[in-house]
Structure 1
Amino acid sequence: MVYKTIVAVLQDEDDAGRALDVAVAFAQRSDAHLIGVHAEALPVPIASPMGFPDAALMGAEEDMSRERADRLEKLFSQRMKRESVSWEWRSMYSFSGDSALSALESARCGDLVVAGQVDPEKGAAGSPDIETLIQGAGRPVLVVPWRGTATTSAKRIVVAWNGSRQAARAAFDALALIVEADETTILSVDPVANPGEQGALPGAEIAAALARHGARVTVENRGSGDQSVAETIAQVVTDKKADLLVLGAFSHSRLKEMFFGGTTRTTIENPPCLTLLAR
């Protein structure tokens, strides 16, 4: 699939540049239309010590939200004017103020969604809800790590494969990138633990399917040992010097991952590189 409509979710002005670096590069590569989305929270009624609405404080909060939205729009539009990219800006207000939630309608009509992971030290308030974006958009989500320089190429790709529907969706959502890559590794972690979904030779069938499209594919099976599956995947990404990780999201229930942890949640919180997640 060629990405012709790309939606960039921009929540925090300090981290928007990293997400835009990736979104612009992908848009230029496929001559795509780039949509920037940002949301601010609607004013919340605040009571004064006397119990009456504090109009002054509410007005100050509204002014701060409007100014932040204006700064992000200016950052986006100035960047777009320097690039040869078709673009538009969508500024929204919602009760949550979460740009990921507000972007769902736009994301569902796009080919690819780009969301930047915000510095964890800023807390949850500064970060878009990437989990909800993955669950609700129905489109592949490209997560840009907050650390390091944003990677805008995908020459070496690792596809995490467990034979699930989500893994298949992610692999084919990334097909355009996989076909262009110099090397793609189909990685199965602890395949013996789940032989029913992966067949007699884990990863072999999906590798053959991708190869028919012209992809240069190798298969690797690795045991996790004392590590978690997420840690093992991250180690392979490091070993391969991969530019992109492709991962099927929430192949276990989200409730199970919420209580017990899981590969998806760990990867979202600490992506080892640029990561495409699909469900």
Structure 2
Amino acid sequence: MPFKTIIAIIQSAEDTDRVLDCAIPLAARFEGHVIGVHAEPLPVAYASTIGFPDTEFLQATADMNKERSKKLEGLFRGRLEAAGQSFEWRGLESFSGDSALSGISSARCADLVVAAQRNPDADSDTSTDIDTLLYDAGRPVLVVPHAGPSLSSYNRILIAWNGSREAARAAFDALPFIIEAEQVEILVIDPPEDLEADADAGGAEIATALARHGANVAVAMEESDGRAVDDVIQDRVGAIGADLLVMGAYSHSWLRELLFGGITRTVLQSMPVATFMSR
């Protein structure tokens, strides 16, 4: 299924170009429509020295937020109009001011969401809660890395496979990319001892299914040998020169991920290539 409706999460000027460098060529290739989503925080009422709401502060904050939103809208419209691409802009307000959180309802009616990976060196105000977007939107999210090239087509794709529902969802959601790629590798970490009895977890069946769509697929198996799974995935990305990682998000419960960390959160923070995730 082509990506006809693409949500571009625009949190700050810093990530606008990176997100649009990916979203605009995608929309052009699939004859799609780009929806830019940006949220500003609602002004918080502070009490003045005499105990009443500081209306001057509220007004100044509202004006600053409005100006920032207007600037980002101008950047977005300029890029889309120059590309001759179908688009719309959704400027929102919320208590958090988080464009990913505010964009969840829009994302649920889209084919794909494009968002920028958190930049560890950026202000916290410019980061978005991609974790919650992934968990609640029910739609695939393409996370653009905070450094390196922002690509929209991918030659070598690595699929992290564990036989889970989430991994299956991600693999088939990513089909438009997979069938275009020169090489697709299914990576199975710590494969089951009896591959014939557990073909799903072993990667054979998903490889065959994707090959029927015309994908050039191979299966690779690696033992973790005490390494963290996310480290194994990242090493394999580098080893094969992958430019896109496809994986399921939150294969374990979200509570477990929050308490003990997990692959999803690590990938969102540090993966050096674009990552396509579904849940």
TM-score scaled by length of structure 1:
0.96
1:12, 1:118 within 8 Å by CA — same for their partners in 2?
Answer: no
Please state if 1:254 is matched with 2:268. no
> Per-residue deviation at 1:194?
10
After the TM superposition, which of the residue ranges 218-227 and 136-145 deviates more from structure 2? 218-227
**Which residue of the partner structure matches residue 127 of structure 2?**
127
> Per-residue deviation at 1:59?
1.2
Residue identity matched to 2:33: H
> Per-residue deviation at 1:34?
0.7
Residue identity matched to 1:183: Q
Identity of matched residues, %: 51
**Which residue of the partner structure matches residue 74 of structure 2?**
74
> Per-residue deviation at 1:225?
2.1
After the TM superposition, which of the residue ranges 15-24 and 188-197 deviates more from structure 2? 188-197
2:183, 2:217 within 8 Å by CA — same for their partners in 1?
Answer: yes
* Partner-residue secondary structure (3-state), 1:122: coil
After the TM superposition, which of the residue ranges 185-194 and 161-170 deviates more from structure 2? 185-194
Distance in 2 separating the partners of 1:9 and 1:37: 5
Summarize the alignment of residues 174-253 of structure 1 with structure 2, pairs less than 5 Å apart. Answer: 174-192=174-192, 198-199=198-199, 202-253=202-253
Instruction: Tell me how many residue pairs correspond in the alignment.
Output: 279
Distance in 2 separating the partners of 1:177 and 1:200: 22
* Partner-residue secondary structure (3-state), 1:192: coil
Change (3 A) 1:15 1:107: same
Spell out structure 1 runs of 4+ moving beyond 6 A: 193-197
Distance in 1 separating the partners of 2:191 and 2:260: 21
1:163, 1:197 within 8 Å by CA — same for their partners in 2?
Answer: no
Distance in 1 separating the partners of 2:251 and 2:194: 13
RMSD of aligned Cα (Å): 1.7
Residue identity matched to 2:86: S
2:116, 2:143 within 8 Å by CA — same for their partners in 1?
Answer: yes
After the TM superposition, which of the residue ranges 112-121 and 17-26 deviates more from structure 2? 112-121
Residue-by-residue CA offset, 1:66-91 (whole Å, 9 max, x unaligned) = 11100100000000111031111110
* Partner-residue secondary structure (3-state), 2:121: helix
Residue identity matched to 1:43: P
After the TM superposition, which of the residue ranges 67-76 and 11-20 deviates more from structure 2? 11-20
Listed as ranges, the gaps of 5+ residues in structure 1 are none
> Per-residue deviation at 1:197?
9.6
Please state if 1:91 is matched with 2:107. no
* Partner-residue secondary structure (3-state), 2:14: coil
**Which residue of the partner structure matches residue 110 of structure 1?**
110
> Per-residue deviation at 1:261?
1.1
**Which residue of the partner structure matches residue 49 of structure 1?**
49
Listed as ranges, the gaps of 5+ residues in structure 2 are none
